[in-house]
Amino acid sequence: MKRLIAWALLLILLLVAAGGVWAYMNLGRPYKAYQSTEQFVEIPVGRGPASIGKTLADAGVVSSSEAFRLAVWLRGSGRRLQAGEYRFDRPMTAADVVDKLAKGEVHVRAVTFREGLTVREMAAVFESSGFGSAADFIAASRNASLINELDPKARDLEGYLFPDTYTLPRSATAVQLIERMVNRFQKAATPELRQAATARGLSLRELVTLASLVEKETAKPEERAVVSGVYTNRLRIGMGLQCDPTVIYALMLAGRYDGNIRKGDLQIDSPYNTYRYAGLPPGPIAAPGEASLHAAANPADVPYLYFVSRNDGSHVFSTTLDEHNRNVNEFQRRRSRP
């Protein structure tokens, strides 16, 4: 009997030792069986630990489904595993993999759209960032229904794709990104902002249009409200806005813009040409940021009707045409001479 008990104890010790070796080999030792430098694994919604473990084992991320399930049990993470696409680029223990999924560390990439871009320029950024084609982005931007509740006159989403940095999974589509950008704009266009525009007799579309002109004219924070004040003064007295960026936009729509504005371009017959047509253009010419939106809704109370670039990113403002002509002569004509 004693010998039998001894053999039984020895067998138990051997089993425990074997279990320890198996646990170390499968749980405690970092594992990597995929040959590439990185491996992407998509975990669909609704999958349980067994199915997830098999997917990870097939991808060479864990040694076996059983090892993954044991790590899940030891971690108590069965109900916290999150769906999404995950990126693996180094050997990891099964416990590390479980923790990664439990924390939801899905793989995302960032794409940044700066203020003042047109839809076509944003489309180029989208394509160059590797998310999809520019054509897909442009097609998605034509879904005006996303903004029709705020702007029933919108025929596309020019001006309503909010400039910001967006983090996206690799599988994100242009349609999904466009929806996020419009949602971001809707958050920026707060009720208070819309009320301030209404108090000035501006619809949301007119507000965004004015903000897009401000955005294109100056990048100086301290100048935005002043530029807005100049345009507001011109609109009040029926004076043409004579905004060069609107001419550029008209030329772009016509496929005629080559990076320069010539004197003849100021006569292009387009409703966006504010040299020929008084008032605001029919819609935004770019995507304004939050600061320009607020400047359009709250223009500075200034007497100015004119401004000209100093060629250093800033502008000089004037009230009379004579004063403006002197500024043009000083900051533009003289500097253009060889």
Mean per-residue pLDDT over the chain, rounded: 90
Nearest to 188 by CA among 77, 287, 58: 287
> Does the structure show a pLDDT above 90 at 25?
no
Please indicate, yes or no, whether residues 94 and 52 belong to a single structural domain of this protein: yes
Q: How many CB atoms lie under 10 A from the CB of residue 242? A: 16
Is 82 a domain residue?
Answer: yes
User: What's residue 8's pLDDT?
Assistant: 56
223/298 same-domain check:
yes
pLDDT at position 337 is: 47
| pLDDT over 70, % of the chain | 90
Per-residue confidence (pLDDT) for residue 2, from 0 to 100: 60
pLDDT band at 334 (very low <50, low <70, confident <90, very high): low
Residue 11 lies in a domain: no
Q: Are residues 296 and 248 in the same domain?
A: yes
Alpha-helical runs (H) found in 261-330: 290-297, 321-328
Give the residue carrying structure tokens 């250093």.
312
**Residue 261 within any structural domain of the chain:** yes
In a domain, 170, yes or no: yes
pTM (2 decimals)? Answer: 0.82
Mean pLDDT, residues 17-35: 68
Q: Decide if pLDDT at 306 tops 50.
A: yes
Same domain, 113 and 149: yes
| Last-in-domain residue among 141, 162, 188 | 188
Instruction: Looking at the structure, tell me whether residues 236 and 177 fall in a common domain.
Output: no
Residues 50 and 115 placed together within one structural domain of the fold: no
Tell whether 326 is covered by a domain. no
| Predicted confidence (pLDDT) per residue in 64-83, tens digit | 999 999 899 888 887 889 99
Give residue-wise pLDDT tens across range 81-110.
999 999 999 999 999 999 999 999 999 999
On whether both 202 and 297 belong to a single domain, the answer is: yes
Task: Look at 14 and 291; give whichever has higher pLDDT.
Answer: 291
In a domain, 310, yes or no: no
If asked whether residues 69 and 141 sit together in one domain, one would say no
Q: What is the pLDDT of residue 17?
A: 44
The DSSP call for residue 132 is: S
pLDDT at 115: 97
Asked if 287 and 159 count as a contact pair (C-beta separation under 8 A), the reply is yes
Domain count, the chain: 3
Question: What type of residue is 200?
Answer: R
For residue 79, tell me if it sits in a domain: yes
Residues 89 and 122 in one domain: no
Same domain, 65 and 134: no
Q: What is the pLDDT of residues 219-247, one digit of tens each?
A: 899 999 999 999 999 999 999 999 999 99
| 232, 321 Cβ separation under 8 angstroms | no
pLDDT at 78 (0 to 100): 76
Looking at the predicted structure, is the pLDDT value of residue 53 above 70?
A: yes
CATH (domain of 97): 3.30.1490.480
Q: What is the pLDDT of residues 108-158, one digit of tens each?
A: 999 999 999 999 999 999 999 999 999 999 999 999 999 999 999 999 999
User: Which of 156, 188, 220 marks a domain boundary?
Assistant: 188
- What pLDDT shows up at residue 12? 60
The values of phi and psi at residue 314, to 5°, are: -110, 175
Q: Angle at which helices 204-217 and 191-199 pack, to 10 degrees?
A: 90
* Alpha carbon distance 263, 265 (integer Å): 5
Domain housing 42: 25-103
215 with 295, same domain? yes
% of the chain beyond a pLDDT of 90: 78
- Residue 336 inside a domain? The answer is no
When comparing pLDDT for 19 and 83, which is higher? 83
Question: Are 127 and 155 in the same domain?
Answer: yes
Examine the fold and report which residue of 133, 157, 188 is the final residue of a domain before the chain moves on.
188
